[in-house]
């Protein structure tokens, strides 16, 4: 592809593919974790009537990664959730690259603001946890 001639439609096509792959991969990971979870914990009592929050291992990204690598079922599901949250953020990052390549300064700045809010919320989440 000639990078100088990249247009809105090229960006849109890439975004479409990214969204599709992101959802499929995240869905597959959640499904795998779910099957694993039911095989090992299917007999446990499910009571979600009162709110207890979640233990740190299911709330903090780094601990979720570690848990998923250790094949802990709940961590695998949370890892799928993280992949899903990452999909729209990556989409914005991809749009940023596209606008920058198009040399559209206005939209490069607009997209950068959106990306900063998303990353800021991610960092605020980590601090909160």
Q: Which residues bind other proteins (CB under 8 A)?
A: 8-9, 11-13, 15-17, 19-20, 22-23, 26-27, 30-31, 33-34, 37-38, 41-54, 58-60, 73-75, 77-78, 81-82, 84-85, 87-89, 91-92, 95, 106-107, 110-111, 113-114, 117-118, 120-122, 124-126, 128-129
Query: Residue 94 Cβ, how far from other proteins at the closest point, in Å?
Result: 10
Query: Residue 1 Cβ, how far from other proteins at the closest point, in Å?
Result: 17
Give the list of residues 6+ apart from residue 11 with CB closer than 8 angstroms, or none. 94, 95, 98, 99, 102
b/e map 92-117, b = 16+ CB within 10 Å: bbbbbebbebbeeeeebeebeeeeee
Query: Residue 7 Cβ, how far from other proteins at the closest point, in Å?
Result: 11
How many whole angstroms separate alpha carbon 65 and alpha carbon 62? 5
- As to burial, measured by CB atoms within 10 angstroms (0-12 exposed, 13-18 middle, 19+ buried), residue 90 is middle
Query: Residue 23 Cβ, how far from other proteins at the closest point, in Å?
Result: 5
* Cα four-point dihedral sign 92, 54, 65, 38: negative
């Amino acid at each position: 592809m000639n990078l100088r001639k990249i247009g809105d439609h090229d960006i849109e096509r890439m975004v479409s593919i990214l969204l599709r792959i992101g959802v499929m991969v995240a869905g597959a990971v959640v499904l795998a974790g779910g099957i694993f979870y039911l095989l090992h914990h299917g007999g446990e009592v499910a009571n979600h009537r009162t709110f207890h929050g979640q233990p740190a291992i299911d709330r903090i990204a780094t601990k979720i990664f570690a848990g998923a690598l250790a094949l802990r079922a709940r961590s695998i599901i949370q890892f799928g959730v993280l992949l899903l949250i990452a999909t729209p953020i990556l989409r914005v990052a991809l749009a940023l690259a596209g606008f920058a390549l198009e040399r559209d300064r206005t939209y490069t700045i607009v997209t950068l603001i959106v990306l900063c809010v998303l990353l800021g919320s991610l960092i605020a989440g980590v601090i909160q946890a």
